[in-house]
Structure 1
């Protein structure tokens, strides 16, 4: 499946930034395990498809349920990293609009940090096609908690570069719903912190953002300068030790109606 079929920020940014994505992205909170088993019903004997699986940041959570895991990812550089890390997973290059699986072949479709890239009728129609009747579509995102003042400043610094890249925080993805054949979205939220070095939780996290990674070298250097100045100005970040970035994890589920 050609990268030209996906947004240019994803095709270019994630292809270039696969390594940084692995280092800079936060994990998911422990409550997600309960959400997967109790809300999405994942267990041994079922099959789950992870759409837009990236480098496999979420994939271990799915493997822990005991379900059979299939992944579909359009960016080959990211899919290669996932396949190397999790060779037991059935991996396909492809898009959400043309999932390379049979009709009614999976029990759950899961999109982690991804659905905003393909929140359109064509993708939902194909997700609906591959799900069994009564199957679940789960959507989950980690987002920095912008109610914290210094996080709000960091977000403003990053967001000025977003261009036309789809983002979860705008809420535009919600316009894909309601969708005929799916029930209402059921939301849940969890809190967590991303703790580590400033290099990873601030610099590499920003570098892993698709539209930042896709910038021209001179613009990426401008972002680096802005980040260095920001970190130097914030006592929470410039003390030389580990830092914790607060995150909100937002999870949603909808059921394919029989």
Structure 2
């Protein structure tokens, strides 16, 4: 199924350390809960850059988003397993993960962070979803991935990358060897007390750390029949405390990534997009999520079948750019 991009650029939203602009979908309270929701490669990205401005540290309303819903109800999650869960479903993971929006790559290039001579260290590279576009931009990439099956896919597809099969906490990195560090849909698995000082040493003075993830929901979008069915599945689970800030809680992630003093916030931007999912994609993709059982994935796929075999989803991609402190 071909990908159709409906927009390639967001409206500008650069910020400094005291002022940031973001899409309202990317802001949550400090007790927002993380949710792994479905994703797929084929689809449509729509307009981005619906902006709102807030002072750094402003209080924001508590937002809980699950299955396209934004409300104050507790979110029920299955226990999260370790990140190697994805390696057990490497082929499905590779088939299902959607590409990051072109506007994100345009932003990194326009800001001068991704150039033909950029030396990149990418942590939690998976099967190379972010690795490929960086290589195509002319960068040299050291890709770190703990899962052997995922790393094997990455090596086959992108042999020019220097792929290291190890964790972000364990990989040995030379000092001042990289211009840009990247964590794409991976930072929530890291021990940041270990990783942040390691990246600080590995980056050159003036280097940057770009953190983003595809957040599989949009609290500003209408609740679809499919999302209601997904919510019915997750509502049967036992409520658990949140292990990390939620995928929409961008302000809390910025605080978490800067509190050690190794990095300072440079900019925050959020890209909104829509994507169409088929029944087989839903089954494949839900199976790869660490907080979904195979039975639940089958139930979600059945929901798509019941709704005609295709559903349109609304997703967002928050991008946090941090600058290395001297």
Aligned position for 1:215: none
Query: How well do the aligned residues superpose, as a CA RMSD in angstroms?
Result: 2.6
- Say if 1:155 and 1:99 are closer, same or farther in 2 by CA, change over 3 A: farther
1:200-219 aligned within 5 A: 200=281, 202-212=282-292, 219=293
Give the equivalent residue in structure 2 for 1:255: 323
Which shows bigger deviation, 135-144 or 163-172? 163-172
CA distance in 2, matches of 1:156, 1:106: 46
The reply on whether 1:169 has 2:169 as its aligned counterpart is no
Q: 1:53 to 1:161 in 2, by over 3 A?
A: farther
Alpha-carbon separation, structure 2, partners of 1:196 and 1:71: 29
Deviation at 1:149, TM superposition (A): 1.2
The 1:165/1:183 distance shift into structure 2, 3 A limit, reads: closer
Residues in 2 aligned to 1:185 and 1:157: alpha-carbon distance in whole angstroms: 39
Q: Give the Å deviation of 1:116.
A: 0.8
**Map of 2:300 onto structure 1:** 227
Q: 1:17·1:210 contact (CA, 8 Å) conserved in 2? A: no
3-state DSSP class of the match of 1:77? helix
Structure 1 position 107, deviation (Å): 0.3
Give the match for residue 45 of structure 1.
117
Indicate the residue corresponding to 1:25 in structure 2: 97
- Is 1:239 paired with 2:308? yes
Cα 1:188/1:76, change in 2 over 3 Å: same
SS at the partner of 1:183? strand
Q: Determine the structure 2 residue equivalent to 1:10.
A: 83
Alpha carbons of structure 1 residues 80 and 255: separation in structure 2 relative to 1, 3 Å: same
CA displacement at 1:161 relative to structure 2: 8.1
Unaligned runs of at least 5 residues, structure 2: 1-79
Change (3 A) 1:135 1:57: same
TM-score (norm 2): 0.66
Deviation at 1:22, TM superposition (A): 1.1
Give 3-state SS (helix, strand or coil) of 1:74's partner.
coil
Structure ranking higher in helix proportion:
1
User: Scaled by the length of structure 1, what TM-score is found?
Assistant: 0.81
**Post-superposition offset of 1:205:** 2.1
Distance 1:125 1:139 in 2: 15
C-alpha displacement of 1:232? 4.8
Distance 1:10 1:211 in 2: 11
> Matched residues in 2 for 1:42 and 1:187: separation?
17
Aligned twin of 2:279: 198
The answer as to 2:103 corresponding to 1:64 is no
Which is further off, 123-132 or 91-100? 91-100
The total of aligned residue pairs comes to: 238
**Partners of 2:239 and 2:127 in 1: how far apart?**
22
Matched, 1:149 2:214: no
Given that 2:122 and 2:183 are in contact with CA atoms closer than 8 Å, whether structure 1 keeps it comes out as yes
User: Shift of the alpha carbon at 1:58?
Assistant: 1.5
